[in-house]
Chain A
């Protein structure tokens, strides 16, 4: 079954610095991969998704992610952090095997942005 692992439960950056949130996947078939963001007391919102088209995926709010098959990674980046980026970020993939159709989430990474 497909799964994702997020490296680092907390990431702290200064405003204007590079944001890098790490996600590795395990899959025996080409995966569908997603990044969602959750602001405090809100539901999850899609940032971007990879569906076997371009390996560099651009999302909302200046975020992008690159699918690297050789590294089984789908890391999320943003060149310059803004205070409003402070939130929890989830990497997700569709599970396979008997769980086909289920969206499986990583444990989440809380991003803190310092002034």
Chain B
């Protein structure tokens, strides 16, 4: 398997623009996670899905953030409108089950909002 695939790898945009991050989980994995990593706050879980259904979105910072998983092989994280404080690395991860199961991380999308 190619692992978790994320696109784009880098994104530079201007404040106020819409940003869409994409993720393809490992085939057969039924959990998908979106994380954000910053120097100040470290790694934060934003939202996770089980069998394409959002389970916990309490980590989503505000209404400007939304995530969808229309099918088992694709998920998006959208920021609209974007702000400079959204600049971070966004990771997608997937796992087969939870708790003791390993989460496999994608390479991340490095977002810079000017």
Point out residues on A near B: beta carbons under 8 Å.
32, 34, 36, 41-46, 49, 51, 90, 94, 99, 101-108
A43-B105, A45-B105 given; A103·B45 CB < 8 A: yes
Closest chain A residue to B45, Cβ basis: A102
Check B55–A101 contact: CB distance below 8 A: yes
Mostly, the B contact residues are strand
Chain B min CB distance to A21 (Å): 16
A-B contact count (CB 8 A): 51
Complex: A43 Cα to B42 Cα, angstroms: 13
A36, A51, A99: the one contacting B100 at CB < 8 Å is A51
Proximity string of chain B (53-93) to chain A, C-beta cutoff 8 Å, 1 when within and 0 when not: 00110000000000000000000000000000000000101
Q: What are the nearest 9 A-B pairs in CB distance?
A: A43-B105, A51-B100, A44-B105, A105-B43, A32-B100, A43-B107, A46-B102, A101-B98, A107-B42
Q: For residue A104, which residues in chain B have a CB less than 8 angstroms away from its CB?
A: 45
A43, A45, A90, A102: the one contacting B108 at CB < 8 Å is A43
Check B4–A43 contact: CB distance below 8 A: yes
Q: Tell whether B48 is near chain A: CB-to-CB under 8 Å.
A: yes
Complex: A42 Cα to B104 Cα, angstroms: 12
Check A101–B48 contact: CB distance below 8 A: yes
17 residue pairs bridging A and B, Cβ less than 8 Å apart: A34-B102, A41-B108, A42-B107, A43-B4, A43-B107, A44-B93, A44-B103, A49-B100, A90-B43, A99-B56, A101-B48, A101-B55, A101-B98, A101-B99, A102-B45, A105-B43, A108-B42
Complex: A106 Cα to B42 Cα, angstroms: 8
Given A43-B105, A101-B55, A101-B98, 16 additional A-B pairs, CB 8 A: A34-B102, A42-B108, A44-B91, A46-B102, A46-B103, A46-B104, A94-B98, A94-B100, A101-B48, A101-B56, A102-B45, A102-B48, A102-B56, A103-B33, A104-B45, A107-B42
